[in-house]
Amino acid sequence: MEEVVVSGRVLRGSRFQPGHVVVRRGRIHRVHRGERVDADLRGLILPALVNAHTHLGDSVAGRPPRMSLRALVGPGGYKHRILERTPRPRLVEAMRHALREAALTGSALCGDFREGGLDGARALRKAARAGGTAEPVVFGRPHPGEPLAPLLRVVDGLGMSSTSDHPGEWLADLRREARRAGRLFAIHAGEAHRRDIEPALALEPDLLIHLTQATPGDLRRAADRDIPVVVCPRSNIATRVARPPRRPPVAAMLRAGLRVALGTDNAMLHPPNLWAEMETAARLYLPQPATLLRMATENGLQALRRGPGGLQRGAPARLLVLDPDSPRLRDPLAGVVRRTRPDDILGLLQGDRWLHLRNRRNPAKS
């Protein structure tokens, strides 16, 4: 599509105002005041969501029985045993469904930690090839001893478990090689305990996941190094890893100046629906709706190094159009954050393609 025009009320700061957005060749061309009658789609217009941390392959595992975090997701644990015995076509199909669900619930991008070495990363790329899915930002994880160069050519970065789960020298090598190849290096830290936070910071990662057990000092050190963090509040509740009240310290993170993004984590625990994560985060923390929406949009984009986000001229178009007549969205911004359901989404535009259009059956085939 050469040009797409969406019109209605456009999010500016924390308010929706009458306006329209012109997208040319997949990029934001202009944001105008005032509505336009000949638009392709009309509604409430805002940046698309970014699910900054997922493990979509885990959707093959189904809801797990109660067990420790290490037994659940650690090396050789429950999910890894299931992933190892899952035939590749089934894994690809499960990830395709999960990426489609992410798009249907408003996410243009998923920052996905993809285990399984080179073949695991290729399986995720294949899952995204069908179209109509969220785009994965692929954080691969090599098998120990696996040659790294082929994997680094396929992935956007490396996504590791924790410094408690991998040998330190290997992690330092991976970090160095990722940097040399111009790829990101991300790692979980402070999920079950804080012992792995300091060693993770020493690796100078591009992205940290969780920091649930972080002290104010840990948060300050991460903020000083300008390392973004992705929090996954529902995952922390489900895995019961954190001490009660089992929440990442989001208010302290924001006070420390950290860039905080949101993710839905393991797909066997929660499908990749970021609205559900936002609703939980709103209940737990009650931050301003604009702050929460920023965590779910531009902070996620920045965490995944996919640009400044927002509706700036020249930025790649990633736009959501919501139903202005939805009874749930009467108080628009608070309603958007707390009450949007998938059927309130009229369209999700990524570049020059509709990943999802409510009134069209299969936008991927358009």
Q: Under rule CB under 5 A, how many of the chain's residues touch Zn ion? A: 1
Q: Which is nearer to Zn ion, 73 or 320 (CB)?
A: 73
Q: Are 108 and 297 in contact (CB under 8 A)?
A: no
From the CB of 268, what's the least distance to Zn ion, in Å? 11
Q: Which is nearer to Zn ion, 265 or 344 (CB)?
A: 265
Q: Are 162 and 189 in contact (CB under 8 A)?
A: yes
Distance CA 80, CA 108 (A): 27
Stretch near Zn ion under the rule CB under 5 A, chosen from 101-109, 177-185, 259-267, 303-311: 259-267
From the CB of 167, what's the least distance to Zn ion, in Å? 20
Task: Name 348's bridge partners.
Answer: 320, 356
Stretch near Zn ion under the rule CB under 5 A, chosen from 16-24, 166-174, 261-269, 277-285: 261-269
Stretch near Zn ion under the rule CB under 5 A, chosen from 74-82, 142-150, 163-171, 258-266: 258-266
Stretch near Zn ion under the rule CB under 5 A, chosen from 114-122, 217-225, 264-272, 358-366: 264-272
From the CB of 263, what's the least distance to Zn ion, in Å? 7
Quickly list DSSP for 64-84.
PPS--HHHHHSTTSHHHHHHH
Residue type, 208: L
From the CB of 329, what's the least distance to Zn ion, in Å? 31
Q: Which is nearer to Zn ion, 21 or 178 (CB)?
A: 178
Distance CA 178, CA 162 (A): 17
Stretch near Zn ion under the rule CB under 5 A, chosen from 147-155, 177-185, 198-206, 262-270: 262-270
Which residues ranging from 265 to 284 are in contact with Zn ion (CB under 5 A)?
Answer: 265
From the CB of 113, what's the least distance to Zn ion, in Å? 6
From the CB of 235, what's the least distance to Zn ion, in Å? 7
Stretch near Zn ion under the rule CB under 5 A, chosen from 24-32, 130-138, 260-268, 343-351: 260-268
Nearest residue to the partner Zn ion, using Cβ: 265
Distance CA 277, CA 296 (A): 9
Structure tokens at 204: 């100078």
Q: Which is nearer to Zn ion, 72 or 349 (CB)?
A: 72
From the CB of 82, what's the least distance to Zn ion, in Å? 16
Measured at the CA of 18, the angle between CA 17 and CA 21, to 5 degrees, comes to 100
Q: Which is nearer to Zn ion, 161 or 326 (CB)?
A: 161
* Residue found by looking up tokens 């300008």 in the block: 226
Q: Which is nearer to Zn ion, 241 or 320 (CB)?
A: 241
Q: Is 15 exposed, middle or buried (0-12, 13-18, 19+ CB in 10 A)?
A: exposed
Structure tokens at 318: 């990633």
From the CB of 215, what's the least distance to Zn ion, in Å? 21
Total residues belonging to the chain = 366
Alpha-carbon separation of residue 190 from 159, 204, 236, 242 (angstroms): 15, 15, 11, 9
Q: Which is nearer to Zn ion, 208 or 333 (CB)?
A: 208
Query: How distant is the alpha carbon of residue 148 from its chain centre?
Result: 25
Q: Which is nearer to Zn ion, 156 or 265 (CB)?
A: 265
**3-class secondary structure, 225:** coil
Q: Which is nearer to Zn ion, 100 or 210 (CB)?
A: 210
From the CB of 41, what's the least distance to Zn ion, in Å? 34
Cα torsion for 246, 138, 353, 312, to the nearest 10°?
A: 70
- Residue from 182, 175, 180 nearest 155 by CA: 182
Residues contributing to the site for Zn ion (CB under 5 A): 265
